[in-house]
Copies of this chain bind each other. A is one copy, B any other.
Amino acid sequence: MTDENRRSLTLRDVSEASGVSEMTVSRVLRNRGDVSTATRERVLKAAKELGYVPNKIAGALASQRVNLVAVIIPSLSNMVFPEVMSGISAVLEDTGLQPVVGVTNYLPESEEKVLYEMLSWRPSGVIIAGLERSDASRAMLEASGIPVVEIMDVDGKPIDSMVGISHRRAGREMAKAILKAGFQNIGFLGTKMPLDHRARKRFEGFTEALAKSGVEIMDQEFYSGGSALAKGREMTETILKRSEELDFLYYSNDMIGAGGLLYLLEQGVKIPEQVGLAGFNKVELLEGLPRRLATMDACRREIGEKAAEIIAKRVAGEDPERIIELTPKISFGDTLKRR
């Protein structure tokens, strides 16, 4: 407010204000080495009075150390990544490391750009969603020389480390559970999948397991964009009008599953007697629905925690396990029971 163009305070200003060398000020502010209590207090007082905020840019350049962990995810709005983030934050909290988020919107070119941008700040580690990426992105990560944890998915080969679940297996397990419950006429509803590799893998695992039992998907329906809940309704209406014999609908995520559930209840369809349902992700939202939708826990928070642990340990010079596969559990809820 006072004068717009003043430069910000430096160590030197604090040094002068406290009558102590810059070096000692630096030591006090970082709690390093021995400093007498008297000078320490003098310095702290001066720093506080001036409102000094250290310049991490200079600090990082001098020390060749940056306490940042780049976290690169496809989307914020997803309900899935906030939970991963909270796992990461919780673990990094007491390590001196700090997460910095970059969002790619599921676009490989965008991922490249975000990655380049973040790596140019020389973070201590990278946590990045998925295993599929462009050659350029892969090259950057390899060349960076820092720990890289690829998360969410373990169906593939990591650049360095990975923690996640097998989406193929998740799809297979769900298929088995559905068949075991006695459903035979199964429909699939999901996102258009070129961009969403994990949904694609679930779909592949799902159809594969059905095939093993001689069952084929009876019908399918895809969407992109828009309100997932509303799309779930629409798609459910569409697919059931087209294939009346369907007795089970497998949704690629809980939101569209919830939309389908609401629609079917309105139509007076008996669930699961007439039609069974399942989604994926076990989002909190489901707890408030009129029926508990069957779903599968994607271990989102735990993935964040484990990934952060790997980075923290590697930064600390340890050599933790680099591949961690978590096991999702099916929640049968009210919509996946023996007919």
Contacts and interface: CB of A to CB of B under 8 A. Distances in A.
A268 to B, nearest CB: 13
Interface stretch (A33-41, A77-85, A211-219, A328-336): A77-85
Contact of A229 (B120, B121, B287): B287
Interface stretch (A137-145, A167-175, A201-209, A242-250): A137-145
Interface string A64-78: 101000000000110
Interface in A144-194: 144-145, 160
B56 A145 contact: no
Contacts of A82: 76-77
A8 B124 CA distance: 12
A76 B66 contact: no
Interface residues of A, number: 61
Contact of A53 (B6, B89, B120): B120
Nearest to A98: B117
A122 B7 CA distance: 11
A81 B5 CA distance: 32
A110 to B, nearest CB: 10
Q: Copies per complex?
A: 2
Interface in A235-272: 258-259, 262, 266
A108 interface: no
A1 interface: yes
Contact of A287 (B100, B140, B230, B258): B230
A259 B288 contact: yes
A284 interface: yes
A228 interface: yes
Contacts of A316: none
Interface in A105-147: 116-117, 119-122, 139-140, 142-145
Interface in A8-28: 8-9
A85 B103 CA distance: 10
A99 B54 CA distance: 21
B227 A284 contact: yes
A320 interface: no
Nearest to A89: B103
A140 B6 contact: no
Nearest to A285: B229
Contacts of A1: 142, 160
Nearest to A231: B288
A247 to B, nearest CB: 23
Given A1-B142, A229-B289, A85 B76 contact: yes
A82 B81 CA distance: 11
Interface in A263-314: 266, 284-285, 287-290
A233 B288 contact: yes
7 contacts: A5-B145, A9-B143, A61-B61, A89-B103, A100-B100, A229-B288, A229-B289
